[in-house]
Amino acid sequence: MSSTSRTARGLNPVPESPRAPRTPRAPRAPRRRRKVKFGVFDVSRGFDMPLFVFIMVLLGVGLVMLFSASYADSYYREGSSYHYIARQAQFAAAGFVAMMAASALDYHNYHKFALPVAVVTVVLLLMVLLFGRVLHMESIAPSEGVAYRWLNLGVQFQPSEIAKFAVILLFAHMISVYADKMHTFQYGVLPFGGVLLLFAALIFLENHMSGTLIVLALGAIMMFIGGTKPRWFVIGGAAVVLLLGLYLTLGGKDESGEGGTYQMGRIQVWLDPFNTESEETWQTRQSLYAIGSGGFFGVGLGQSRQKYMYLPKPQNDFIFAIVCEELGMAGALVIMLLFALLIWRGVYVSLHARDRFGMMLGLGLTFQVGLQAVLNICVVTNTIPNTGISLPFFSSGGTALLMLLGEMGVLLNISRSANVEPT
């Protein structure tokens, strides 16, 4: 008879046999985090094919448009229509090799190189100022106007292009280290602000306004994504606007570098680009004429008229005006769409990276391309004042193209280990 039925009838339940006392378990030892080791190379998975296709299409179209925009100026100044395109093609080939090599190098290895790359870049920027501005050694730092941006150490290059990558790499490293402390001033503002001010000041002293603005913008974007509180951006933005206003009104330099209103002159050109009494409006006017004459479908590839000594140096910062003239609004929209697709895929790959360092590094490299493309198009269309910003993949410039393709290789390597479905 069960104990339940016996209880219901008023009888005493059958006592249960006592259980043996449990032996207390020994406390578990705390688990040690296993240190993950990464190899030097990472080719276990293929890289993101859509991203690679967008890069190569932009590179190919950029080379075609560079040749079309530059052959008249190249023949006049260098005696050969192929001077600029031959040089750019060589850097494109070297950049492609660098991109493929970077795509095979595990991006985690850049952790250990973040600080050394930043230190070397600071030294190079100091050399530009030292030899270019103090000693005026043209063989070491050739100049254009009052801007000193180049070094010639066997190979001529712009340290400011390296500085963009150095800031992105160092910030990605610091954000991954201070991940849980980015909301504090001590870790989320102070060290980043110090690094950013150092790089921005050195580039600014080269009279390289566009490089300064890009470095500041990239640093601010990465800090915001990394977790720095928004109020610090309001304070920092107000300080930058105040300093920029003081510089434009008090410290601008003219073409001779002896004081005056060089930067204010650019703002006046922006406000009144069709003022024929001012020679400074010439480049902007010719750019707008080129865009307007292109119409919707353009005058045809290679048929630009403004590149025949009307638009100064059409192969550089204003190459997008020649694109609009020859390919029209339709072609310009296609190129802008290609940039948008590249940025979308870069962001997508970065957000699916397997760690915080990969995510921040990928986002920084992607935003650099997007930021430069947007600012260049705004300058060419006179939406913002002329600040001398090159168009990625299109503008003539060996250092910029080599660095750009190398950075795209890093982004491709991030895509190898990202949680992205293979295409």
* 230-285: pLDDT as tens digits: 999 888 888 888 877 777 676 555 444 444 445 667 777 887 788 877 778 888 99
Q: How far apart are CA 175 and CA 360, in angstroms?
A: 8
Q: What is the pLDDT of residues 149-158, one digit of tens each?
A: 778 777 778 8
Residue 421: what pLDDT? 63
Residue 5 lies in a domain: no
Q: How far apart are CA 340 and CA 390, in angstroms?
A: 17
Q: Does pLDDT of 422 surpass 80?
A: no
Model confidence band, residue 45 (pLDDT cutoffs 50, 70, 90)? confident
Cβ density class 52-82: b for 16+ within 10 Å, e for less: bebbeebbebbbebbbbbbbbbbeeeeeebe
Please state, for a pLDDT cut of 90, what percent of the chain lies above it. 58
Domain with 175 in it: 45-417
Residue 139: what pLDDT? 37
Q: What is the pLDDT of residues 173-193, one digit of tens each?
A: 999 999 889 999 999 999 999
Residue 402 lies in a domain: yes
Calculate helix-pair angle for 159-177, 356-380, nearest 10 degrees. Answer: 140
Under 8 Å between Cβ of 119 and 157: no
Please state, for a pLDDT cut of 70, what percent of the chain lies above it. 80
Q: What is the pLDDT of residues 368-417, one digit of tens each?
A: 999 999 999 999 999 988 888 899 999 998 889 999 999 999 999 999 98
Model confidence band, residue 44 (pLDDT cutoffs 50, 70, 90)? low
Residue 141: what pLDDT? 40
Q: Does pLDDT of 55 surpass 80?
A: yes
Q: Which of 175, 195, 196 is nearest to 353 (CA)?
A: 175
Q: Which of 327, 339, 320, 298 is nearest to 389 (CA)?
A: 320
Q: What is the pLDDT of residues 200-213, one digit of tens each?
A: 999 988 888 888 98
Residue 272: what pLDDT? 79
Model confidence band, residue 144 (pLDDT cutoffs 50, 70, 90)? very low
Q: What is the model's pTM?
A: 0.83
Residue 43: what pLDDT? 56
Residues 6+ apart with CB under 8 A from 378: 384
**DSSP bridge partners of 148:** 143
Range list of β-strands (E), 64-188: 143-144, 147-148, 151-152, 156-157
Q: How far apart are CA 46 and CA 34, in angstroms?
A: 27
Q: Does pLDDT of 111 surpass 60?
A: yes
Q: Does pLDDT of 66 surpass 80?
A: yes
- The residue written with tokens 């962001």 in the block is 347
Residue 245: what pLDDT? 75
Q: How far apart are CA 360 and CA 367, in angstroms?
A: 10
Please give the tally of structural domains in the chain.
1
Residues 6+ apart with CB under 8 A from 176: 111, 355, 356, 357, 360
Integer CA distances (angstroms), 408 to 48, 108, 258, 390, 401, in order: 11, 15, 40, 17, 10
DSSP 8-state assignment for residue 25: P
Residue 419 structure tokens: 């949680």
Q: Is the dihedral of CA 61, 62, 65, 67 positive or negative?
A: negative
Amino acid of residue 60? G
Q: Does pLDDT of 195 surpass 80?
A: yes
Q: Which of 1-5, 253-257, 325-329 has the highest mean pLDDT?
A: 325-329
Cβ density class 135-173: b for 16+ within 10 Å, e for less: eeeeebbebeeebbbbbeeeeebbbbbbbbbbbbbbbbb
Q: How far apart are CA 118 and CA 196, in angstroms?
A: 11
Range list of β-strands (E), 349-394: none
Q: How far apart are CA 423 and CA 309, in angstroms?
A: 46
Model confidence band, residue 359 (pLDDT cutoffs 50, 70, 90)? very high
Strand pairing of 151-152 and 147-148?
A: unpaired
